[in-house]
């Protein structure tokens, strides 16, 4: 299939499970805004149905969904130019997910490392939804015929599965109906690490709040977390190669590069050889400059929840207008009677 047969369209999603952090911003949100600003059609989804694959308190889920919407907008997404919506408002996602449950193979799903990580030792007690999660993710993407999916490094395997599902569907039904979407995993911060441990990913579920910069942190908190970030005692090396084997130093340099829109080489040219007592204040100033306005804007947006709900309802209506005909055509291809009238 030629990629050119499909109009470029970007889709991505984030789970509304609280604690949006710097990793989400640099790995995802900032990239979402860049795609939007290139003038490509962009859809960004708060994946509430993915969130409930593990227990969510109802009031917390509603709050986290609206806060995530505020985070999207505060990070530069414009509800007029991007379609912003929460997944549960567009039923086509779950309808398509069932189809893909029947395309995906047990063996494919069993290989997913995120399931193994999240299910932990007690996999028998994990929800069936947690196991089927990647088929719903494939549905999110393919129900829009999306061609490009900006995500952090941790989603690479799920995107490969999405591609496998699209390829198998097209092959089994002898069609060229679904595009084979491209992951967009680029830049210096596709995997932002914990500020307390350079070998583990910055994550919303880390019990230590000092491990991450939350998009809701104020300027003082951001600066404090960077000041206290774990490092080794040596100054920064003078060249990129010297970062090898120094994961905490590497992480702070990567964060600097991503926040400043610089390459790692450029950061090293500027800061190479400096002790952390000099580099950390530089990074703290930059992080405060870039992140504190987002937290202020999120707080402002959260003052008017009805406006957020209006934006999500409007986005959902626009999303449905794209998704409904693609689901109907999928049903037709599969031989579902009455699909034309769906």
Residues near ligand TRP (CB under 6 A) are 11-15, 47, 50, 137, 140-141, 149, 151, 155, 158
Using CB under 6 A as the binding rule, whether residue 152 contacts ligand AMP is answered as yes
Binding at 191: pick from ligand AMP, ligand TRP, none (beta carbon under 5-8 Å per type): ligand AMP
Q: Whose Cβ is closer to ligand AMP: residue 19's or residue 329's?
A: 19
Chosen residue from 9, 10, 24, 140 binding ligand AMP by CB under 6 A: 24
Q: Are 13 and 50 in contact (CB under 8 A)?
A: yes
Rounded-to-integer distance, Cα 117 and Cα 53, Å: 14
Among candidate residues 156, 168, 204, 274, the one labeled active-site is 204
Name the minimum Å distance from CB 62 to ligand AMP. Answer: 17
Using CB under 6 A as the binding rule, whether residue 254 contacts ligand AMP is answered as no
Q: Whose Cβ is closer to ligand AMP: residue 151's or residue 223's?
A: 151
Per-residue interface string for the shown chain with ligand AMP, residues 170-209, x marking contact by CB under 6 A = -------------------xxxx--------xx-x-----
Cα dist. 185→32, 148, 309 in Å?
11, 10, 30
Task: Give the alpha-carbon dihedral of 29, 30, 33, 38, to 10 degrees.
Answer: -140
Whether residue 201 lies in the annotated active site? yes
Using CB under 6 A as the binding rule, whether residue 154 contacts ligand AMP is answered as yes
Give per-residue burial for 16-45: e unless 16+ CB within 10 Å, then b.
bbbbbbbbbbbbbbbbbbbbbeeeebbbbb
Binding at 158: pick from ligand AMP, ligand TRP, none (beta carbon under 5-8 Å per type): ligand TRP
User: Number of C-alpha atoms within 13 angstroms, CB side, residue 72?
Assistant: 33
Query: DSSP 3-state assignment of 147?
Result: coil
Using CB under 6 A as the binding rule, whether residue 148 contacts ligand AMP is answered as no
Rounded-to-integer distance, Cα 256 and Cα 259, Å: 5
Name the minimum Å distance from CB 211 to ligand AMP. Answer: 10
Query: DSSP 3-state assignment of 111?
Result: coil
Q: Whose Cβ is closer to ligand AMP: residue 195's or residue 327's?
A: 195
Name the minimum Å distance from CB 234 to ligand AMP. Answer: 24
User: Number of C-alpha atoms within 13 angstroms, CB side, residue 74?
Assistant: 24
Strand order in the sheet with 148-150: 82-86, 41-46, 9-14, 148-150, 182-184
Chosen residue from 14, 33, 137, 215 binding ligand AMP by CB under 6 A: 14
CB neighbour list of residue 71: distance below 8 Å, 6 or more residues apart: 20, 24, 29, 215, 294, 298
Interface residues with ligand AMP (CB under 6 A) are: 14-15, 23-24, 27-28, 151-152, 154-155, 189-192, 201-202, 204
What are the catalytic residues? Answer: 118, 201, 204
């Amino acid at each position: 299939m030629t990629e050119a047969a499909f109009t470029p369209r970007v889709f991505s999603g984030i789970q509304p499970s609280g604690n949006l952090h710097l990793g989400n911003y640099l790995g995802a949100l900032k990239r979402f805004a860049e795609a939007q600003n290139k003038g490509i059609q962009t859809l960004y989804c708060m994946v509430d149905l993915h969130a409930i694959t593990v227990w969510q308190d109802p009031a917390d889920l509603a709050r986290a969904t609206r806060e995530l919407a505020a985070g999207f907008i505060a990070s530069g997404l414009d509800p007029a130019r991007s379609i912003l919506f929460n997944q549960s408002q567009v039923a086509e996602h779950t309808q398509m997910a069932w189809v893909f449950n029947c395309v995906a193979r047990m063996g494919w799903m069993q290989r997913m490392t995120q399931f193994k990580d999240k299910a932990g030792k007690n996999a028998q007690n994990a929800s069936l939804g947690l196991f089927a999660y990647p088929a719903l993710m494939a549905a999110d993407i393919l129900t829009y015929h999306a061609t490009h999916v900006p995500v952090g490094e941790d989603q690479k395997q799920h995107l490969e599965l999405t591609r496998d599902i699209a390829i198998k569907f097209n092959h089994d039904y002898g069609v060229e109906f679904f595009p084979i979407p491209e992951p967009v995993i680029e830049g210096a911060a596709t995997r932002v690490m914990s500020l307390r441990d350079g070998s583990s990913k910055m994550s919303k579920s880390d019990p230590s709040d000092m491990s991450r910069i939350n998009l809701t942190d104020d300027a003082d908190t951001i600066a404090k977390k960077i000041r206290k970030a774990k490092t080794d005692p040596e100054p920064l090396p003078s060249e990129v190669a010297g970062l090898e084997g120094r994961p905490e130093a590497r992480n702070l340099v990567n964060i600097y590069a991503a926040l400043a829109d610089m390459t790692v080489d450029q950061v090293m040219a500027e800061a190479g050889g400096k002790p952390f007592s000099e580099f950390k204040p530089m990074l703290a100033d930059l992080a405060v400059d870039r992140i504190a306005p987002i937290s202020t804007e999120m707080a402002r947006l959260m003052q008017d929840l009805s406006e957020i709900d209006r934006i999500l309802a409007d986005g959902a209506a626009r999303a449905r207008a794209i998704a409904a005909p693609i689901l109907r055509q999928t049903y037709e291809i599969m031989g579902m009677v009455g699909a034309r009238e769906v």
